[in-house]
Amino acid sequence: MTHYIQSHLQTLEDESIYIIREVVAQFQKPVLLFSGGKDSITLARLAQKAFYPAKIPFPFLHIDTGHNFPETIEFRDQLVKELGVELIVRYVQDSIDQKKVQEETGKYASRNALQTVTLLDAIEEFGFDACMGGARRDEEKSRAKERIFSVRDDFGQWDAKKQRPELFNILNGKIHFGENVRAFPISNWTEEDVWNYIAQEEIGLPSIYFAHKRKLVKRDGAFLAHSDYLNLVETDEIVESIVRFRTVGDMTCTAAFVSEANTIPDIMYENKSSKSSERGARMDDKRSEAALEQRKKGGYF
Amino acid sequence: MDLLRINTAGSVDDGKSTLIGRFLNDSHALTIEQEELIIKKTKEKGLEDLDFSVITDGLIAEREQGITIDVAHIYFSSDKRKFIIADSPGHVEYTRNMVTGASNSEVSIILIDARKGLLEQTYRHYFISNLLRLKTVVFCINKMDLVQFSEDVFLSIAADINKMAGKFEYKPHVHILPISSLKGDNVVNHSEAMQWYTGQTLSEVLHDIKPGEAQTADFRFDVQQVMHVQNNEFIDYRAYAGRVISGSIAIGDEVIVLPSGQKSKVAELRKFTNTFNEVKTGQSIQLRLEDDVDVSRGMMLVKDNDEKLLSKDIKATLVWLDEKQTIPGGRYLLQAGTRTVQCKLQQIEAVIPPENPEELVQADTLKLNDIARVSLKTATPAFIDSFENNRLNGAFIIIDPQTNNTVGVGFSE
């Protein structure tokens, strides 16, 4: 069993390193989109391995909604310091102040979808031609259709019908001026693979991934972290419980799991037996069946 | 527990997405969200049997049109094995996506509607599976419930399949199964309605296949980039970052740099803080040589010189994937591994009709989805093996320099 996990993970790691190096070789100005979640942390580790003993040759970009878990930001700053990479942060708040986007209102208000405009502006500002992200095909069904190199036009749009064929290990990164590529080095990893890798490599994670006591808002049967960013309504119930987060997005749209799992093996065991999917905790995906695809077409990651 | 990569193919409405949904459901591998979605959609559509297709048809256009447009990758595990299923579209215009799905698989599942028998797409999908040298092809004759679970229908289609497979030189392991994905017969559970069938269910077949044993091919190392590092720990460190495409290499082995032919010996094999005595197929590493030789991105390291790798004339089977036709004289870019070179389509020797691969048709142009034997000329060598000898270093893509799109995929002879 142990042997299998290592060799399977090694295959995945080798493939990801190959992809990251291809991005650096084929593009002028690549960037890694870093959210502070476990997938982008895994990606950061793979980038480190791809270039060691040299430093990671591209910056990290964080699109900050201003509604992050403070634990994630703290972790992010520590990690970039350790890796010695440049961190660029662009704020959704700035896009709101510039009146480029409008803050959502009401019970389900979230800044998650607003990130797109800030991201596209950052891509233009720095002239990034390749944005690497930690999306995985097992996460959600429109993600399952992404190529490893996914070409976006000037407006960041994804045309699912016109994707390039992608064969064997041959990655065609040729683009026209103004276009950019979203590259997904861990496309073929599953949630379980990521957790196995984090355990094997002893990669640190923000504390919110592990069981902790927290003030919560119970809404529509889900537990959201209590914060100033959440617009409370009468039916909301404020409770306190021991929880952990399985995926890390905004505080306004990421639901917590009631759990006492505070080691990686416990988390993996619990995930496996829960039968619920990882993005099941993302309220932003639940808005409609095609919520994620629609955001992706508009340039969302 | 090991991993098996599968692709599914078939014509429109053959029920691929339903089969995958059924397979997951009967293997108890659906998430709660997926189960809820199936029940909700089945009710909305007023169907009698559960609608499993909603699991894989992930795009809005797919649900609107009720068809699969692009390859969906589905990951799941049974008690014994992990699976990655690439669900490819059935429409002929999306053949390029079927090639994409099959290129990274070991097994093809081809669906056939029991009422219709073999269709153009069946021949095409078998041809592509054959071209890609997949080891196993499983034909699922689906919708047996709509032909009264008739053994005669099954036997007649099975005979057609054997006739088709007999025309090819390369013979994969072929399995032929009567199933009903809608009702669940012979997918995971044995059929009660088809007592005459005593063979394996799809799940049993997929669990019995032995996943790809390592290929014994010659050493090929693609240089992705040259690394220079100068710090306290690494003094004047110069290494070649890349991937072992095939074969293996050990410290002290002599290597030849292509295209220059310069020779040196391997001094170090490294990944991150680990160093190795030997590395094998698939490993992404940094390789250091004893001598200061001229190496840059796109070059290849090999153990033995092989004249074929340096040839600028390539004979290949080419699958054309672009709406825009091509003719001899067309200028393109050819990409193999990390190399991109200019190339010209010299000659279309013959178009191969998938229904009858022995018949070679003369043609002046290549149209979307045509499969042809061609000869190409490259400006500089692309270091390609014959696909037959080395599956990992025998394929290439053709890029249109005007659109930057991948317009063809080739398999070198």
Residues A158 and A267 in one domain: no
Residues A184 and A221 in one domain: no
Mean pLDDT of all residues in B331-336 = 97
Percent of chain B clearing pLDDT 90 (strictly above): 65
Alpha-helical runs (H) found in B334-397: none
**Amino acid sitting at position B343:** C
Mean pLDDT of all residues in B101-108 = 88
Q: Is the pLDDT of residue B180 over 60?
A: yes
The domain total for chain A is 2
DSSP string, B284-335: EEEEEESS-----TT-EEESS--GGGG-SEEEEEEEE--SS-B-TT-EEEEE
* Domain contains A276: yes
Residues A126 and A261 in one domain: no
Q: Is the pLDDT of residue B121 over 60?
A: yes
* Helix A38-51 vs helix A2-26: crossing angle, to nearest 10: 70
Residues A167 and A228 in one domain: no
Residues A279 and A293 in one domain: no
Bridge-based pairing state of the strands B263-271 and B254-258: antiparallel
Residues A266 and A167 in one domain: no
pLDDT digits (tens, 9 = 90+) for A161-190: 677 888 888 999 999 988 999 999 999 898
Residues A12 and A152 in one domain: yes
Residues A22 and A124 in one domain: yes
Which conformational region is residue A15 in: left (phi greater than 0), alpha (psi within -120 to 50 degrees), or beta? alpha
Q: Which two tokens stand for residue B94?
A: 């999306």
Rounded to an integer, what distance in angstroms lies between the CA atom of residue B245 and that of residue B260? 20
pLDDT digits (tens, 9 = 90+) for B165-177: 999 999 999 999 9
Mean pLDDT of all residues in B231-241 = 92
Rounded to an integer, what distance in angstroms lies between the CA atom of residue A204 and that of residue B121? 49
Residue B10 Cα, gap to closest chain A Cα (Å): 18
Residue A282: give the domain boundaries.
208-286
Residues A187 and A227 in one domain: no
Question: Average pLDDT, whole number, for chain B?
Answer: 89
Ranges of residues in chain A with a pLDDT under 50 are: 1-4, 287, 289
Identify the bridge partners of residue B123 per DSSP, sorted by sequence position: none
Other residues' Cβ atoms within 10 Å of the Cβ of residue B326: 23
- Lowest-confidence segment of B82-96, B142-156, B282-296 by average pLDDT: B82-96
Q: Is the pLDDT of residue B364 over 90?
A: yes
Q: Does B226 touch chain A (CB under 8 A)?
A: no
Confidence (pLDDT) at A102? 85
In chain B, what are the domains? 3-208 (3.40.50.300), 220-305 (2.40.30.10), 308-412 (2.40.30.10)
Residues A144 and A12 in one domain: yes
- Which are the contacts of A88, defined by CB distance < 8 A and separation ≥ 6? A31, A59, A60, A61, A62, A122, A126
Of the candidates A14, A175, A190, the beta carbon closest to that of B284 is on A14
Name the range with the highest mean pLDDT among A257-271, B208-222, B388-402: B388-402
- Find how far residue B284's CA is from the centre of its chain: 21
Q: Is the pLDDT of residue B71 over 70?
A: no
Residues A213 and A81 in one domain: no
The residue to which tokens 């070409």 are assigned = A151
Chain A residues with CB inside 8 Å of B224's CB? Answer: 18, 21-22, 25
* Domain contains A174: yes
The residue to which tokens 């993970």 are assigned = A9
Question: Average pLDDT, whole number, for chain A?
Answer: 85
Handedness of CA A188, A189, A190, A191 (dihedral sign): negative
Rounded to an integer, what distance in angstroms lies between the CA atom of residue A12 and that of residue B51? 33
Confidence (pLDDT) at B52? 81
* Domain contains A1: no
Q: Scanning every residue of chain B, which has its alpha carbon at the shortest distance from the alpha carbon of A1?
A: B1
Q: Is B337 helix (H, G, I), strand (E, B) or coil?
A: coil
Structure letter (DSSP) for residue B140: E
> Nearest to residue A35, comparing CAs of A205, A271, A230?
A205
Of the candidates A24, A172, A188, the beta carbon closest to that of B335 is on A172
Mean pLDDT of all residues in B194-221 = 88
Q: Does B232 touch chain A (CB under 8 A)?
A: no
Residue B97 Cα, gap to closest chain A Cα (Å): 6
Rounded to an integer, what distance in angstroms lies between the CA atom of residue A224 and that of residue A239? 10
Between chains, do A137 and B73 touch, taking CB under 8 Å as contact? yes
Best residue in A51, A174, A184 for a mutation probing chain B (most B CBs within 10 Å)? A174
Q: Does A200 touch chain B (CB under 8 A)?
A: no
**Amino acid sitting at position A89:** V
Confidence (pLDDT) at A294? 58
Residues A275 and A153 in one domain: no
Residue B252 Cα, gap to closest chain A Cα (Å): 22
Of the candidates A52, A143, A167, the beta carbon closest to that of B100 is on A167
Best residue in B1, B8, B20, B225 for a mutation probing chain A (most A CBs within 10 Å)? B225
pLDDT digits (tens, 9 = 90+) for B296-308: 999 999 998 888 9
Contact map slice: A 214-233 vs B, CB within 8 A: none
Confidence (pLDDT) at A285? 55
CB A89 within 8 A of CB A35: no
DSSP string, chain A: -HHHHHHHHHHHHHHHHHHHHHHHHH-SSEEEE--SSHHHHHHHHHHHHHHTTSPPSS-EEEEE-S---HHHHHHHHHHHHHHT--EEEEEHHHHHHTTSS----STT--STTTHHHHHHHHHHHHT-SEEE----TTS-TTGGG--SEEEE-TT----GGGPPP--TT-------TT-EEEE-TTTT--HHHHHHHHHHHT----GGGS-EEEEEEEETTEEEE--TTS---TT-EEEEEEEE-SS---TTTBEEEE----SHHHHHHHHHHH---GGGGBGGGGGSTTHHHHHHHTT--
Percent of chain B clearing pLDDT 70 (strictly above): 93
* Domain contains A2: no
* Domain contains A23: yes
Confidence (pLDDT) at A56? 97
